[in-house]
Chain A
Amino acid sequence: MELLDNLALGFSTALLVQNVLYCFVGVLLGTAVGVLPGIGPTATVAMLLPITFSFEPVTALIMLAGIYYGAQYGGSTTAILINLPGESSAAVTALDGHVMARQGRAGAALAAAAVGSFIAGTVATVALAVAAPPLARVALEFGPAEYFSLVLLGLIVSIALARGSALKALAMIALGVLLGTVGQDIYTGTPRFVFEQRELYGGIDFVSVAVGMFGVAEILRNLENEQTRTAIVSKVKNLWPTREDRRRIVGPIARGTGLGAALGVLPGGGHVLASFTSYAVEKRISKRKEEFGNGAIEGVAGPESANNAAAQTSFIPLLTLGLPAHPVMALMVGAFIVHGITPGPNVITDEPELFWGLIASMWIGNVLLVLLNLPLIGVWVRMLRIPYQVLFPMIILFAAIGTYSLSFNAYDVYAIVFFGILGYILIKCGCEPAPLLLGFVLGPLVEENLRRALIISRGDASVFLTRPISAVLLALAAAALVIAVLPAIRKRREVVFAEDE
């Protein structure tokens, strides 16, 4: 069995002492930022990215991945206990989870979330291990024309999933792509849009963009209306669900896992979509519809399983195609590149230890998360008492230090305020920051493959339509664009996301 050999290789890498240690650090930090409202995994990964540069590549990626899926776990704790989703995908968990907590069943809700997440994470990790290699083999056949079309498809699908107006999301992508062109041109070396500043020749650092858009802008949003957090947190007891509860969560966990694993592959926020879809499905098929919104345990177990499964499978496009499905993945592309590895189909053959080690570490991370979250729930509850007045200066200071340590370049630090304010204005106007970051990271790939494909085809632009795979991908992109703009489907999306507010 090739799969078993590969997994054995993965576990032998992931179980090395330093890898287990950093996996633990990653999930610990991830849980912490997931629990704390006001800071998300994207800003955290961006701030911590510079310090992982000195690690072994596999260790760095294991830790960064841990932050990402750890945050999905932590987000549910806050959602259940204080009705404040720490992470957007946990918003739907708050609907029933918080009601359960008020009824004194917080323990059962937390346990359902943790057990569901663990089962979903395990199954989705296996799905990732099975699905990734064949996909990578297909992707190896891709030329520049196919890559161009694929990246374009990825960008356009990401807007179909973003909240709010599709027009604005498209504009945010274009803005991201444009910002990505700052710096020296790859083919001619001409410095573009650098205003004669030598510090800008290397381009704008994506860490600055991410920290600005997701860290600084978020802080400004939170400082608009300062309220003391009303953390009425009841004591959590009776973690073990009753027999009745256990019977009721089996189905939702299984369905949530399947949905999440499938939807997680979509770029742009599959985990959010997955948890909303799972909630809708559970509500529709339940015999006790009236309980939904009034503390139905199915409404916690299903969505939590779905978002955790999606968090795992969203690594599939990253590891096989080099396409990030989430802003955190976009940062991980950067982490790969810093370590001299081009993310994409070659990783699996060139760096099998890294590839399988990362996958195996996700399962280990899920075990650690269950251990961290259930017995230590009291610690996380106490963390909610940290006042925001301590938290936001810490984020700003760490962000400044983190971006400065990228290359000891003060421009990287100035860039975070620039992007913080730009992001703040645009977010206030109803634009989502995630498409901009995806555009920023993928833009250079679009340009490079566009130009390379045209050089190979001797300047014939029809090459994108005459090569079959490329044509299919472009057709899918066009279809996704139509779907995103079509009013009927837009309305449905608004309904799905309306409960998120």
Chain B
Amino acid sequence: MERRRSFPDVLAGGVFVLIGGAFVAGSLGYELGTPLRMGPGAFPLLVGAILAALGLAIVVKGLVAGEMISFGPIPWRAIGVIVLAVVFFGFTVRGLGFVPTSAVTALLTTLASSRVRPLTAVAVAAGLTVASTLIFVVGLQLRIPLWGPWLGF
């Protein structure tokens, strides 16, 4: 296997260093305690340091002898649409109620595929809204109002 500088390795290591470092910095704000009575900060400090060290090792290894992984394309459209759809769901489910929120979330999500046709999208969204209402609200008695207060109910 060919081994040389590897962007995925450096990126992964960077993410680990960043998150580990953030937890280390955060845990210094809590009481560390003594070995006998470890404070709330001690364990995250230890693990955060381990993570940052491992991340650093991955970065170094990625610069000299990384794993060759094909990174592939990034589906920006899918990422954007799915984030939007899920955040919309979390933000409005209480206000708009189950049915409108599910319908909009499903419709938005179908747009993540670049091959979607408008008619298919509407049909899929409608079908999923009916199915999820039947399964979750009628079948499983989930206590979410079907229509929310924002709509004047």
Contacts and interface: CB of A to CB of B under 8 A. Distances in A.
B69 A416 contact: no
A398 B51 contact: no
Interface string A207-242: 000000000100110011110000000000000000
A454 B36 contact: yes
A190 B31 CA distance: 9
A437 B75 CA distance: 25
B54 A170 contact: yes
Given A405-B144, A417-B83, A454 B38 contact: yes
Interface residues of B, number: 76
Contacts of A420: 82
A417 B132 contact: no
A175 B132 contact: no
A482 to B, nearest CB: 16
A229 to B, nearest CB: 12
B47 A178 contact: yes
A389 interface: yes
A201 to B, nearest CB: 13
B96 interface: no
Nearest to A461: B35
Contact of B35 (A389, A430, A459): A459
A178 B20 contact: yes
Contacts of A174: 16, 20, 47, 50-51, 54
A168 B66 CA distance: 12
Interface string A156-191: 000000001101101100110110010001011010
Given A168-B12, A396-B82, A400-B86, A178 B19 contact: yes
Given A174-B54, A181-B47, A417 B86 contact: yes
A392 B109 contact: yes
A224 B90 contact: no
B12 A220 contact: no
A330 to B, nearest CB: 18
A500 to B, nearest CB: 15
Given A168-B58, A185-B40, A389-B113, A178 B75 contact: no
A429 interface: yes
B105 A171 contact: no
Given A168-B58, A224-B74, A430-B67, A401 B132 contact: yes
Contacts of A54: 140-141
A192 B27 contact: yes
Given A224-B73, A400-B86, A410 B12 contact: no
The B interface, classified by DSSP as helix, strand, loop or mixed, is helix
Nearest to B72: A224
Contacts of A188: 31, 39-40
The A interface, classified by DSSP as helix, strand, loop or mixed, is helix
B128 A397 contact: yes
B51 A451 contact: no
B136 A181 contact: no
Contacts of B43: 181, 447, 450-451
B116 interface: yes
A3 interface: no
B15 A416 contact: no
Interface string A25-64: 0000000000000000000000000010010000000000
Nearest to B143: A408
A410 B47 contact: no
Contacts of B27: 192
Central interface residue in A167, A422, A425, by most chain B CB within 10 Å: A167
Central interface residue in B79, B102, B114, by most chain A CB within 10 Å: B79
Contacts of B72: 224-225, 428
Contact of A193 (B26, B47, B57): B26
A431 interface: yes
A198 interface: no
Contact of B82 (A411, A417, A447): A417
22 contacts: A168-B12, A171-B12, A181-B44, A192-B30, A223-B75, A224-B73, A225-B73, A389-B115, A390-B124, A393-B112, A400-B105, A401-B89, A401-B136, A404-B144, A405-B136, A405-B142, A410-B90, A426-B15, A428-B72, A447-B43, A454-B35, A454-B36
Interface of B: 1, 8-9, 11-13, 15-16, 19-20, 23, 26-27, 30-31, 34-41, 43-44, 47-48, 50-51, 54-55, 57-58, 61, 67, 69, 71-75, 78-79, 82-83, 85-87, 89-91, 93-94, 102, 105-106, 109-110, 112-116, 120, 124-125, 127-128, 131-132, 136, 140-144
